[in-house]
Structure 1
Amino acid sequence: MEQRKFPRVLPGVNEVIEVQLMGLNFLDILNAKDISIGGLAIEVPHLFEGCDINSPIQMILTLPGRSPLKLAGKVKRKISAPGTSLFGVEFGSLDPKAKYQIESYIQTRLQMAS
């Protein structure tokens, strides 16, 4: 069984966690599959060429009902499956506003799940 450092939550029904990813050789607007205070998973319909593990990225994260957050991070995982790919993105250091917004969203989702 996989042990995670931080709890991950899925977006609520009819909610979207939008992620604008900007890397060295790519730019895309996608939706997060799940999120934790340490990072998020993003399902992509294609495998980004030129994006390697530990590649630095910039992102704009928009949580439901909240203001967009500009964040830095890196790609920590890439998993390919027929027709789709999954990226694991680790957040860099979070400023207090970003940390609060992400933590409050996670707490809200955890409370709704219990």
Structure 2
Amino acid sequence: MEPVEVQIMGDGFIDILYAKDIGKNGLGIHVPKNYMSAKVKCEVNLIISLPGCKSFDASGVIKHAGRIGADSEFKSFGIHFTRINPQHRGLLENYFQKIVADNRRHVRVVPSPENPVRVHATINDTTEVFQVKDIGIGGVGLAGGSSVPDCSPDEAVNIIIALPTGEKVQVKGSFKYSNQANGVLGLCFRELAATDAQRLKQYIAERVRELQKKIDYS
């Protein structure tokens, strides 16, 4: 879905940012790690622009801030609404429900930095270890291998997905795209046993619940 633009106005500053998480009670924003304008407990005025809707204003307070990951160039903070028109809160609720419905059709989650998912892929008799950027029941985005494999789209690749629970999922797939410049790969699953599919679905469902808890800052 299109990003939600948020103008944040505080004591002596105004910034235009984009919401990463959003709910009826608040929103989450990613900013560069050297961002200094807003701090925890800072009260801010907001102008929120939902896709397809007229912009509206609200007020809030920054409840928490933190790094996204040890190597990330960004940090995050959560804003809890202290003033918002009930009609506008309803717009946010509808937007959130659209996100949930879209996720149910095409669920693809980003693993937690604290509990990463890794993939061991056997390519041309060589095993590479990749970090999972995002994963769904139909495929996975990868990064972090020592080299980007040069595989044809039809070439079968055997992979083992190591979940944070300690469980392992075995899959046969094929690469759909690769970016030699940044080492990012996209792999589509071709053969996935029912038991492995169930393990993967359980992980995705649990990760969706974790992310939804972060959306509501009440």
Same fold (TM over 0.5): yes
- 1:87 Cα deviation after fit: 1.3
2:32 aligned with 1:42: no
- 1:46 Cα deviation after fit: 4.2
2:8 aligned with 1:18: no
2:95 aligned with 1:102: no
Aligned with residue 68 of structure 1, among 44, 55, 59? 55
Match of 1:84 in 2: 74
Matched residue SS, 1:92: strand
Deviations along 1:30-49, one digit per CA (max 9) or x if unpaired, are: 11111011111111124443
2:100 aligned with 1:113: no
Greater relative contact order (Cα < 8 A, sep 6+): 1
- List runs of 5+ in structure 2 lacking aligned partners: 105-218
Output the CA distance in 1 between the equivalents of 2:32 and 2:10. 17
Structural RMSD (CA): 1.7
- 1:68 Cα deviation after fit: 0.6
TM-score, normalised relative to structure 1: 0.78
Q: Which deviates more, 43-52 or 99-108?
A: 43-52
2:15 aligned with 1:28: yes
Output the CA distance in 2 between the equivalents of 1:50 and 1:66. 27
- List runs of 5+ in structure 1 lacking aligned partners: 1-11
Output the CA distance in 1 between the equivalents of 2:78 and 2:34. 13
Query: Aligned partner of 2:15: which letter?
Result: D
TM-score, normalised relative to structure 2: 0.43
Match of 2:41 in 1: 54
Query: Aligned partner of 1:85: which letter?
Result: K
Query: Aligned partner of 1:93: which letter?
Result: R
State which structure, 1 or 2, has the greater radius of gyration over its C-alpha atoms.
2
Output the CA distance in 2 between the equivalents of 1:93 and 1:29. 19
Q: Is the 8 A contact 1:59 1:71 kept in 2?
A: yes
Q: How many residues align?
A: 101
**% same residue:** 32
Matched residue SS, 2:83: coil
Structure (1/2) with the larger strand percentage: 2
